[in-house]
Amino acid sequence: MKTFKLGNQHIPAIGFGTWKLTSIVCTDSVKMALDIGYRHIDTADIYGNHKEVGIALKNSGLKREDLFLTSKVWYTNLKREKVIDCAKRNLDELQTNYMNLYLIHWPNRNIDIRETVEALEELKRENLIMDWGVSNFNEHHIKDCVDFGFKPINNQVEFHPSFYQRDLKQFADDNNILLTAYSPLGQGYDLNLPEIIELSSKYGKSAAQIILNWISSKNIVVIPKATIYEPIKENFESLNFTIEQEDLNKIDDIKINKRLLEPDFSDFNY
């Protein structure tokens, strides 16, 4: 399985996303993903599915050390005590004694980032999390962390062919921060881009596989989501071929710049 170096760990290059997955659908989907071969599961406190994910992990029969588990603390819970309380509750819900990666889900400039990071560092010292990172952070948010002497190891952001965050990727590379791409298929929109359809035909691969392969070629983790066996398996197998550089460049050159997720509390333009 392809992995990327992440501090003292290795993170699988493809993970299974669980946003909007709830109840038995979540448990069954995660269990299918684990049976197919996924070893990286991505969730978050706000998703409300930790218990369902935990059941799937427990029933998988896999050793904890063979799994990579990512979760996130919500942007309203970034005060020190709340960060620690949420992490401990999340561990109980997931039926595990540590998380591999714990992310600040969204920035919140109403709470001093130092307080949040110090809480995360405390969780790390107690071995309740192996490492921490951020999600939906732009350059200036990360610079705020760095100014206080802390640098996130991972930044999980929206990234897909019709929203190629080229500058943010360069900034991440320059600062040794690994990106993770959520909504990697553009919530279905990018599957119908002419460039993707053309390459799907050329390589005999699905549109989803072309997109996931393109993202992975940039050394970015991908976390697609599905609830049906065949797409889950198809996504997992998306890294098992090579796209020629000139074809990767065709996807790079797609002119659309379409952000899909921008809630009222987002801070992208600050």
Name the 3-class secondary structure at 224: coil
DSSP at 184 = T
Token pair 């050394």 in the structure block, residue: 219
Cα gap 78→168, rounded to integer Å: 24
Q: Is 75 a catalytic residue?
A: no
Report residue 242 as tokens.
């090579």
Catalytic, out of 47, 75, 102, 182: 47
Residue 35: partners with Cβ closer than 8 Å, 6 or more residues away: 60
Cα gap 99→120, rounded to integer Å: 12
Cα gap 270→267, rounded to integer Å: 6
Dihedral angle computed from the Cα positions of residues 243, 249, 253 and 254, in that order, rounded to the nearest 10 degrees: 0
Strand-pair partners of 12: 3
Which of 213-239 are b and which e, b meaning 16 or more Cβ less than 10 Å from the residue's Cβ?
Answer: bbbbeeebbbbbbbeeeeebbbbbbbb
| Phi/psi of residue 101, nearest 5 degrees | -150, 130
Residues classed as catalytic: 47
